[in-house]
Chain A
Amino acid sequence: MGERAESKEQRAESSEKKAKATRDEYGDTLLELGKKRSDIVVLDADLSGSTKTAKFAKAFPGRFFNMGIAEQDMVGTAAGFSLTGKVPFASTFAVFETGRAWDQIRLTVCYSNTNVKLVATHSGITVGEDGASHQALEDIALMRALPNMTVIVPADAAETASVINAVADFKGPVYVRLGRAKVPYVMPDDYKFKIGKAFAFKIGKDVNIIAAGIMVAIAKKAADILSKDGIDTGVINMSTIKPLDGETLLKAARNSKLIVTAEEHSIIGGLGGAVCEFLAENHPVPVKRIGINDTFGCSGSPDELLKIHGLTAEDIVKTVKNAI
């Protein structure tokens, strides 16, 4: 299941690379895809500069459609495009994409099983200073509940490139959750994303942290601290939240005493919820969920907000130590 030890060389190389926002990588990858494939069309709802679809718009104006501030129409139009064999990527901020247009996603994307790629940026607290109105903390739960929907949360820019290429080839509805802020590179250089496959950096004997998105880098930091303190800690990047990689999850649960989930999303209905549902039915073990505790956010820098919401590496360390 992609489990492997990260070599010292890889680790050194990764840390040398600069951080990059997943939305930036999305814009770059979309541009490359546009050059290779004429069936790709891109839609945006007046946020192309922020979602980075503007790069595609500039290169391929005939295949870019700015829908204005009208997310519901954008999603329906994207569904229409897919019905003519196009592969539409529809982008806006996560809160508007998944919330504002939920019924449209339900009917014309998921129920109709159209080949629409919803790639949302500015998810969770990475939108920061804009505050709670703009912080999608429920988007994974909203998308996960829809039949036919695949839900993916890449951990870094490199994985984002791999994810966007994979979903362009995949037939069916997909939701990809991206952030605003820069994130460090965490995945090994030779890593290639596959839909539905988790990546285990290591399976720990004491505890395994199942993380997604920006929390993967933070979970790795926590694991380093815990391992130094003698607690054998594994980290798994569960980038596909639906369908969940039960096989890797079972391996982690069978080999350790505790599972910790870490996500930058409500603890209700997101990664933590998905992991608990699976483990409760297949291999009950103690689980601690780290995430936003059923509350709205507030304005602040992403780093400040990580602290306020208890999402730092130190918070994870504390949770693990309290639990075992």
Chain B
Amino acid sequence: MTKGKVTDVKELKHIAKKIRLHILHMLTKSGSGHTGGSLSAVDVAVAIYFSKMNFNPKDPSWKNRDRFILSKGHAAPLLYAIMAEAGYFPMDVIDNLRKVESPLQGHPCCTSLPGVEVSTGSLGQGLSVANGIALGLRLDNNPARVFCVMGDGEIQEGQIWEAAMTAAHYKIDNLCAVVDNNGLQIDGPVQKVMGIAPIHDKWAAFGWHVIGIDGHNMEKILNALNEAESVKGKPTVIIANTTKGKGVSFFEDKVEYHGITPTPEEYERAVKEIHNG
């Protein structure tokens, strides 16, 4: 039911570039939104959507679709850029990010935009919903899979660990979680605000299969997604080490670009960089 899946690394990288450009365009146009955390998760999200997931943009509630939950809801521009690129809605709709009555709300809203599985934004809630979907699919013997992307700061929320227990307890193996481990949150470096290390050990201790990768290396991302699919009897989490603001040198690793959008001038420079990158 989906357009031919892309497994060619070069092509996936090309799609990731386009997604970055869409994100920068819509954020510059809206003048508000989250730049750094949208860009950091691009490569992982592109790989999931375009190489792994079965879905039908013309029938967003198709029963056998794979599900994608953006638990770090502030990265909404990333989700919208991917959905536009995948054909859920015309590309010009991205001009309306965060505008009154736009389907592209500041944080994803499932009642405004078909194809968004559940509304997110208040952090720490997506993994629980992903578990529920995965268990529901299992009850129906539906082979569809569930992907859930979280932020590293987000895993400070206690509910994440409740959900981590649930996924392991119920042996939810049709679920693949991803931590977008970009190291920064609003108030500064994650380790400084509230240390979460060692992340790998924490998830492993909760009973998960853990894969650590460079979250910008497309080959490694694809391998990790394949590995996750092959693991049975336990949930898998991919710790994707990423760079906040990835792809635009002057946004990279800058905590202030968590919630700030490019100026028109910065936009021009960023577009050039991405084209040349």
* Chain A residues within CB distance 8 Å of chain B: 41, 62-63, 65, 67-68, 70, 72-86, 88, 103-104, 106-108, 111-114
User: Which residue on chain A has the smallest CB distance to residue B142?
Assistant: A84
Asked if B122 and A80 make an inter-chain contact with CB atoms under 8 angstroms apart, the answer reads: no
Knowing A72-B162, A114-B118, the reply to whether A77 touches B128 (Cβ < 8 A) is yes
* Cα(A84)–Cα(B129), bound, Å: 11
* Cα(A73)–Cα(B163), bound, Å: 6
* Cα(A70)–Cα(B164), bound, Å: 11
Asked if A41 and B170 make an inter-chain contact with CB atoms under 8 angstroms apart, the answer reads: no
Given contacts A72-B128, A107-B119, 13 further A-B contacts (CB under 8 A): A41-B136, A65-B135, A72-B158, A76-B132, A79-B118, A83-B117, A84-B132, A107-B122, A107-B125, A108-B125, A108-B129, A112-B118, A113-B111
**Candidates A67, A79, A85, A106; contact of B129 at CB < 8 Å:** A79
User: Which residue on chain B has the smallest CB distance to residue A116?
Assistant: B132
Asked if A104 and B125 make an inter-chain contact with CB atoms under 8 angstroms apart, the answer reads: yes
Tell me, yes or no, whether B179 is within 8 Å of chain A by CB.
no
Chain B interface mostly: helix
Asked if A103 and B122 make an inter-chain contact with CB atoms under 8 angstroms apart, the answer reads: yes
Tell me, yes or no, whether B134 is within 8 Å of chain A by CB.
yes
Q: Which residues of B contact A106 (CB under 8 A)?
A: 122
* Cα(A75)–Cα(B140), bound, Å: 21
Tell me, yes or no, whether B242 is within 8 Å of chain A by CB.
no
Tell me, yes or no, whether B165 is within 8 Å of chain A by CB.
yes
Tell me, yes or no, whether B259 is within 8 Å of chain A by CB.
no
Tell me, yes or no, whether B109 is within 8 Å of chain A by CB.
yes
Tell me, yes or no, whether B51 is within 8 Å of chain A by CB.
no
Q: Within residues 100 to 144 of chain B, which ones have a CB less than 8 A from any CB in chain A?
A: 109-111, 117-122, 125-137, 139-140, 142
User: Which residue on chain B has the smallest CB distance to residue A113?
Assistant: B111
Within the complex, the shortest CB–CB distance from B129 to chain A, in Å, comes to 4
Within the complex, the shortest CB–CB distance from B73 to chain A, in Å, comes to 9
Asked if B135 and A81 make an inter-chain contact with CB atoms under 8 angstroms apart, the answer reads: yes
Interface size band for B: 35 or more
Asked if B132 and A77 make an inter-chain contact with CB atoms under 8 angstroms apart, the answer reads: yes
* Cα(A76)–Cα(B158), bound, Å: 13
**Most chain B CB neighbours (cut-off 10 Å) among A70, A73, A84, A107:** A73
User: Which residue on chain B has the smallest CB distance to residue A67?
Assistant: B166
Asked if A70 and B165 make an inter-chain contact with CB atoms under 8 angstroms apart, the answer reads: yes
Within the complex, the shortest CB–CB distance from A116 to chain B, in Å, comes to 9
Asked if A80 and B118 make an inter-chain contact with CB atoms under 8 angstroms apart, the answer reads: yes
Q: Which residues of A contact B67 (CB under 8 A)?
A: 83
* Cα(A319)–Cα(B236), bound, Å: 62
Within the complex, the shortest CB–CB distance from A92 to chain B, in Å, comes to 13
Asked if A108 and B118 make an inter-chain contact with CB atoms under 8 angstroms apart, the answer reads: yes
Asked if A104 and B159 make an inter-chain contact with CB atoms under 8 angstroms apart, the answer reads: yes
User: Which residue on chain A has the smallest CB distance to residue B128?
Assistant: A76
Knowing A78-B132, A83-B132, A84-B136, the reply to whether A108 touches B163 (Cβ < 8 A) is no
Within the complex, the shortest CB–CB distance from A192 to chain B, in Å, comes to 31
* Cα(A300)–Cα(B183), bound, Å: 51
* Cα(A205)–Cα(B6), bound, Å: 74
Asked if B159 and A76 make an inter-chain contact with CB atoms under 8 angstroms apart, the answer reads: yes
**Candidates A74, A80, A108, A112; contact of B134 at CB < 8 Å:** A80
Within the complex, the shortest CB–CB distance from B214 to chain A, in Å, comes to 30
9 contacts between A and B (CB under 8 A): A63-B139, A67-B166, A73-B128, A80-B128, A80-B134, A84-B136, A85-B140, A107-B122, A113-B110
Asked if B125 and A84 make an inter-chain contact with CB atoms under 8 angstroms apart, the answer reads: no
Q: Which residues of B contact A74 (CB under 8 A)?
A: 128
Which 5 pairs of residues, A with B, have the shortest CB-CB distance?
Answer: A80-B132, A76-B128, A84-B136, A73-B162, A77-B132
* Cα(A81)–Cα(B118), bound, Å: 11
* Cα(A108)–Cα(B159), bound, Å: 13
Q: Which residues of B contact A104 (CB under 8 A)?
A: 125, 128, 159
Asked if B110 and A80 make an inter-chain contact with CB atoms under 8 angstroms apart, the answer reads: no
Knowing A80-B118, A108-B118, the reply to whether A86 touches B130 (Cβ < 8 A) is no
**Most chain A CB neighbours (cut-off 10 Å) among B128, B139, B158:** B128
* Cα(A68)–Cα(B169), bound, Å: 10
Asked if A76 and B133 make an inter-chain contact with CB atoms under 8 angstroms apart, the answer reads: no
Within the complex, the shortest CB–CB distance from B36 to chain A, in Å, comes to 23
Knowing A76-B129, A81-B136, A85-B136, the reply to whether A112 touches B119 (Cβ < 8 A) is yes
User: Which residue on chain B has the smallest CB distance to residue A110?
Assistant: B119
* Cα(A108)–Cα(B123), bound, Å: 11
